[in-house]
Amino acid sequence: MAETQTQPATIPVTITVTCEVDKAALHGVFVTALEGGIGYWSCATEYHWSLPDGEDDLDGFYADVEETETDEDDAPTHRIDAACILRGLQFFAQPGQGYKHVRQVARAVLMGEDVDYDAGDADCIVQAGLFGEVVYG
């Protein structure tokens, strides 16, 4: 009787995608995180999102936040800006376990697709951009 070899159910494939990310989409994730997503673990000490004429500052938005959920006497300050949001989106765009909806949001934002997301999704993206993982929540 001949031995049969079982073939794997998947085939590993590496895909590299290059895209142009909409600055307004990064700004949207930023505002959503600051206005509703990250307040349970941080406090904004400085916050800039718009130009003097009231238009969104797509090139210079930022927030400095301090962690409130730490035992340290001198809470670390973190800068949230476009680069932070982009790092978080790239983190979640990678294959992995958990946070399935956030992964879908990240991939859609990066690809310029319309997607519904909430403050919790934006919170996870910011945490991944700051810490390299979701630390709180």
Q: Which residue has the higher pLDDT, 8 or 59?
A: 59
Per-residue pLDDT, averaged over 92-115, amounts to 91
Position 109 confidence tier, pLDDT thresholds 50, 70, 90: very high
Whole-model pTM: value is 0.86
Per-residue pLDDT, averaged over 74-81, amounts to 90
Per-residue pLDDT, averaged over 72-80, amounts to 85
- pLDDT, residue 12, reads 82
Strands (E), the chain: 42-48, 62-67, 77-81
Query: Distances in Å between the alpha carbon of 13 and those of 10, 16, 95?
Result: 9, 10, 12
Return mean pLDDT, the chain: 91
